Amino acid sequence: YISGYGAVDKEKQELQFLTVSPETPSDSMIAVSDIFSRIGDISSKQTLVLGDIDFTSENSDKSFSSNEMQSIIERNVSPLLSKNPNSSVLLGSQMNNPSRLYMSDEGEDKKHHIFPYFFAKALQERRTTLSDIYQFLERNVSYTSRRLFDRPQDPLLLGNTQLNLAGQ
């Protein structure tokens, strides 16, 4: 599970993970592709990386089209996906959607984000295949974000969608 803030290097079209906060100097950024490459080096039967990274900070560029953003994300997670065919990356939001806190209808902060809440809820409901979990997240994360904040938050799944989290 990776959580935090991200930025986009406009020239390289590379995603950067900010190690502390959006106001952090650039020397404390880590290339997302490096993170996924290192995870890909770990020997495992199957790998699932959950990412709740907010790429909508002041440091990111909102001038990319949806297709360009998708391409940038795919290029940056490919070091993992190309090394292990039984790997997947499930992101809580796309580059143009902030990762939002889950609030009650009365405005009470639930102390967690929408994406991990519904991921845990999917597991509670005994959904174990990644495709079933992703369908559940697509419906609930987006709906909840729009209901609470009137803004989208669309999860993104890349890689092997048939992983079974309950094992074989």
Q: Which of the four pLDDT bands, split at 50, 70 and 90, describes residue 61?
A: very low
- What number is the average pLDDT over the span 146-153? 90
How buried is residue 52: exposed, middle or buried, by Cβ count under 10 Å (0-12/13-18/19+)?
buried
The pTM of the whole model exceeds 0.75: yes
- Express each pLDDT in 104-136 by its tens digit: 666 556 668 899 999 999 999 999 999 999 999
For the ranges 22-36, 41-55, 134-148, the lowest mean pLDDT is seen at: 22-36
- Direct distance between the N- and C-terminal alpha carbons of the chain, in angstroms, rounded to an integer: 22
